């Protein structure tokens, strides 16, 4: 179950990451920050952006079927 | 009439006759009316009155028949009933024994739906405040639908087109038929238990209202309402709503519409993130240029004194150079002058100059002596004049005119009023040429007005 949970956390991160990036940018644009604070925010913002771009770059989503015993198999029915 | 010819019936016999006629004549009747005084007895039998504007008839529906009703009986409901008339001998009453009932107007299915909707709504299952918001970009989408229908294909195709990185987990179920409600609930529960999806689509492609009926099942509707993850209902029908639609967090008109709702178009999201990233860079750039500007200003302020010191030093150097040069030139000039003067210096000129000076000196000396003498005489005259002036102001001069001054002998203090002395005290009176010592014999004050 552990990997699944981590996957869920990642997906949660996209939304919260987007929120975080927004608030970072707004803080940055509001001005009045010292160089050091700005640099820290910038670094943070670059990190968040990179993660968001990484998630957006994933192009291999899995399509699976959840069986009665919770086992997952590649979903093939419904094709064709 | 003869008594013997009369046919006399007991009450029971009469009732029995009536029963035969009524039950024989009305063994199968359709009656339409409105339900009132509805009561459900603990035994499970339902008692009510069917009435119209002018009449009413007591009715009963026994437990065995009530079970098959697809809707709930309630007062005011217009129904069409089928049954028979029965006479209850102990009370001499007749009643309608109802075998089947169906609502007039709405079909019984629709009525049941309305009733269930009202009940669940009263429980708050459809409250807007219960609705969860969808994640903007889910990681995994769960799909509860038939594994073989067009619905699942549409959903997968659209999700992969819009957000290729998103995972899809299909939890297959039948979506129509008697077993559908139970399977739908199982399929939904599997997804919930797996904890895989961050959002779930539940639905099926379009069909008749009967085809969609599983999504009106009370347990299915409750499962949808209780789903811990955000859930989109997509029971493919534009116009008809199922109760699952009301219970879901979001209703989509078709499975395809649900797929469009459930994931963002990555190109748009990419643009959004790119735009934010550009703003981030811009913000940093602005901050940097602001700081560089400040640094420039600071540097300028710091450098100014240094530059001035440098400037001053240069000017000083220049001045000192010029002074040095000038001094040398002046010394040279002075030496030249001196040399010239030395050449011109002759003893005879010196002697002659001395003689002239001697004569002048004698003359000046005489003039000075005269001048001093005159000054002294003038001073003396002015002094004697001043002395004369002083004398006229002196008390001695006043005394010559007969005034005198009296002092006490004891302490030498001035006596300027009668009370200043007492009888027998010695006083000293100064007159113009000497003094008189006397003893006070009496004092008296002059009366002044």
Give the residue from B269, B251, B272, B271 showing the smallest Cα distance to B261.
Answer: B251
Contact A25/A34 with Cβ under 8 angstroms? no
Which residues in chain B have their CB less than 8 angstroms from residue A20's CB? Answer: none
| Residue ranges making up the domain that contains A31 | 13-72
Instruction: Kindly determine whether residue A65 and residue B193, on different chains, have CB atoms separated by under 8 Å.
Output: no
- Separation of alpha carbons B445 and B19, rounded Å: 166
Contact B197/B229 with Cβ under 8 angstroms? yes
Q: Measured between alpha carbons, how far is residue A63 from residues A54, A79, B81, B168 in Å?
A: 20, 12, 53, 5
pLDDT value of position B257: 92
Q: Which residue has the tokens 């869920």?
A: A8
Helices marked H in B195-265: 218-226, 243-247, 255-262
pLDDT value of position A54: 84
Residue A6 in any domain: the answer is: no
pLDDT in tens, B267-284: 888 899 999 998 988 888
Residue B238 in any domain: the answer is: yes
Q: Measured between alpha carbons, how far is residue A29 from residues A19, A26, A33, A50, B280 in Å?
A: 15, 5, 9, 20, 8
Instruction: Kindly determine whether residue B147 and residue A65, on different chains, have CB atoms separated by under 8 Å.
Output: yes
Residue B126 in any domain: the answer is: no
Residue A53 in any domain: the answer is: yes
- Separation of alpha carbons B233 and B252, rounded Å: 6
- Separation of alpha carbons B364 and B358, rounded Å: 10
- Separation of alpha carbons B279 and A29, rounded Å: 8
Q: Is pLDDT above 60 for B449?
A: no
Residue A8 in any domain: the answer is: no
Residue A32 in any domain: the answer is: yes
Nearest to B171 among A61, A63, A66 (CB): A66
Which residues in chain A have their CB less than 8 angstroms from residue B283's CB? Answer: 25, 28-29, 38, 42
Q: Which residues contact A75 (CB under 8 A, 6 or more apart)?
A: A63, A64, A65, B147, B156, B168, B170
Instruction: Kindly determine whether residue A18 and residue B136, on different chains, have CB atoms separated by under 8 Å.
Output: yes
Q: Is pLDDT above 60 for B347?
A: yes
Domain CATH code at residue A68: 1.10.287
Final residue belonging to a domain, choices B223, B248, B267 = B267
pLDDT in tens, B97-118: 999 988 887 666 777 788 898 9
Q: Is pLDDT above 70 for B164?
A: yes
Q: Is pLDDT above 90 for B396?
A: no
Beta bridge partners of B33: B79
Find the closest chain B residue to A78 by CA distance.
Answer: B148
Q: Is pLDDT above 60 for A9?
A: no
Q: Is pLDDT above 70 for B388?
A: no
Residues B257 and B144 in one domain: yes
Instruction: Kindly determine whether residue B193 and residue A28, on different chains, have CB atoms separated by under 8 Å.
Output: no
Instruction: Kindly determine whether residue A56 and residue B165, on different chains, have CB atoms separated by under 8 Å.
Output: yes
Residues B144 and B241 in one domain: yes
pLDDT value of position B228: 95
Residue B125 in any domain: the answer is: no
Instruction: Kindly determine whether residue B140 and residue A7, on different chains, have CB atoms separated by under 8 Å.
Output: yes
Residue B244 in any domain: the answer is: yes
pLDDT value of position B107: 62
- Separation of alpha carbons B391 and B385, rounded Å: 10
Look up the pTM and report it: 0.55
pLDDT in tens, A33-64: 887 888 888 888 888 888 888 888 877 888 99
Residues B56 and B147 in one domain: no
Q: Measured between alpha carbons, how far is residue B371 from residues B359, B378, B383 in Å?
A: 19, 11, 19
Residues B148 and B194 in one domain: yes
The ipTM (two decimal places) reads: 0.80
Q: How close, in Å, is residue B263 to chain A by CA atoms? A: 12
pLDDT in tens, B302-332: 777 777 777 778 888 888 888 777 777 777 7
- Separation of alpha carbons A24 and B227, rounded Å: 34
How many domains does chain B divide into?
3
How many domains does chain A divide into?
1
pLDDT in tens, B280-298: 888 888 888 877 777 777 7
Which SS3 state, helix, strand or coil, does residue B337 take?
helix
DSSP string over A12-67: HHHHHHHHHHHHHHHHHHH----HHHHHHHHHHHHHHHHHHHHHHH-----EEEE-
pLDDT value of position B206: 80
Q: How close, in Å, is residue B167 to chain A by CA atoms? A: 4
Q: Which residues contact B193 (CB under 8 A, 6 or more apart)?
A: A70
- Separation of alpha carbons B403 and B394, rounded Å: 12
Residues B142 and B263 in one domain: yes
- Separation of alpha carbons B194 and B211, rounded Å: 29
Interface test with B, best of A63, A65, A76 (most B CBs within 10 A): A63
Domain CATH code at residue B176: 3.40.50.960
Give the residue from B53, B130, B58 showing the smallest Cα distance to B94.
Answer: B58
Interface test with B, best of A4, A30, A61, A62 (most B CBs within 10 A): A61
Pairing relationship of beta strands B29-40 and B56-61 according to DSSP bridges: unpaired
- What's the sign of the alpha-carbon dihedral B31, B32, B34, B38? positive
Of residues B245 and B321, more confidently modeled? B245
Q: Rounded to a whole number, what is the distance in angstroms from the first to the last CA of chain A? A: 32
pLDDT in tens, B12-64: 999 999 999 999 999 999 999 989 999 999 998 999 999 888 899 999 999 88
Confidence of residue B140 (pLDDT cuts 50, 70, 90): very high
Find the closest chain B residue to A57 by CA distance.
Answer: B165
Residue A3 in any domain: the answer is: no
Q: Which residues contact B206 (CB under 8 A, 6 or more apart)?
A: B236, B237, B254
Residues B255 and B144 in one domain: yes
């Amino acid at each position: 179950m552990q990997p699944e949970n981590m996957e869920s956390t990642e997906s949660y991160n996209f939304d919260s990451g987007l929120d975080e990036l927004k608030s970072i940018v707004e803080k940055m644009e509001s001005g009045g920050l010292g160089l050091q604070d700005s640099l820290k925010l910038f670094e943070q913002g670059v990190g968040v952006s990179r993660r968001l771009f990484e998630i957006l770059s994933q192009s291999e989503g899995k399509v699976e079927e959840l069986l009665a015993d919770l086992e997952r198999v590649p979903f093939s029915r419904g094709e064709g | 009439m003869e008594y013997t010819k009369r046919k006399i019936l007991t009450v029971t016999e009469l009732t029995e006759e009536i029963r035969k006629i009524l039950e024989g004549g009305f063994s199968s009747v359709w009656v339409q009316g409105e339900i009132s005084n509805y009561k459900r007895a603990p035994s499970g039998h339902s008692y009510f009155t069917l009435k119209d504007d002018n009449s009413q008839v007591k009715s009963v529906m026994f437990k065995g028949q009530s079970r098959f009703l697809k809707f709930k009986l309630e007062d005011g409901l217009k129904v069409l009933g089928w049954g028979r008339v029965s006479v209850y001998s102990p009370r001499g009453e007749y009643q309608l024994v109802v075998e089947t009932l169906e609502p007039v107007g709405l079909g019984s299915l629709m009525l049941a739906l309305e009733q269930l909707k009202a009940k669940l709504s009263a429980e708050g299952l459809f409250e807007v405040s219960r609705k969860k918001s969808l994640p903007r970009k889910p990681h995994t989408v769960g799909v509860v639908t038939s594994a073989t229908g067009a619905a699942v294909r549409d959903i997968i195709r659209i999700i992969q087109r819009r957000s290729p990185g998103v995972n899809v987990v299909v939890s297959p179920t039948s979506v129509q038929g008697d077993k559908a409600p139970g399977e739908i609930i199982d399929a939904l529960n599997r997804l919930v238990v797996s904890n895989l999806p961050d959002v779930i689509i539940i639905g099926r492609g379009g069909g008749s209202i009967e085809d969609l009926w599983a999504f009106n099942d009370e347990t299915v509707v409750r499962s949808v309402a209780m789903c811990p993850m955000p859930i989109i209902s997509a029971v493919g029908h534009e116009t008809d709503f199922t109760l699952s639609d009301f219970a879901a967090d979001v209703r989509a008109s078709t499975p395809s519409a649900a797929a469009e709702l459930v994931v963002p178009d990555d190109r748009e999201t990419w643009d959004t993130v790119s735009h934010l990233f550009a703003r981030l860079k811009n913000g940093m750039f602005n901050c940097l240029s602001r700081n560089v500007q400040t640094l420039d200003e600071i540097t300028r302020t710091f450098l100014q004194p240094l530059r001035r010191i440098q400037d001053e030093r240069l000017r000083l150097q220049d001045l000192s150079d010029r002074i040095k040069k000038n001094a040398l030139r002046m010394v040279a000039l002075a030496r030249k002058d001196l040399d010239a003067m030395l050449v011109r210096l002759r003893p005879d000129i010196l002697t002659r100059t001395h003689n002239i000076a001697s004569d002048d000196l004698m003359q000046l000396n005489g003039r000075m002596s005269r001048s001093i003498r005159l000054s002294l005489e003038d001073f003396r005259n002015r002094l004697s004049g001043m002395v004369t002036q002083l004398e006229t102001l002196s008390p001695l001069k006043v005394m010559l005119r007969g005034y005198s001054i009296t002092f006490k002998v004891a302490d030498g203090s001035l006596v300027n009023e009668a009370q200043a002395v007492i009888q027998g005290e010695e006083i000293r009176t100064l007159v113009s040429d000497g003094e008189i010592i006397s003893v006070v014999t009496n004092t008296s004050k002059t009366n002044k007005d």
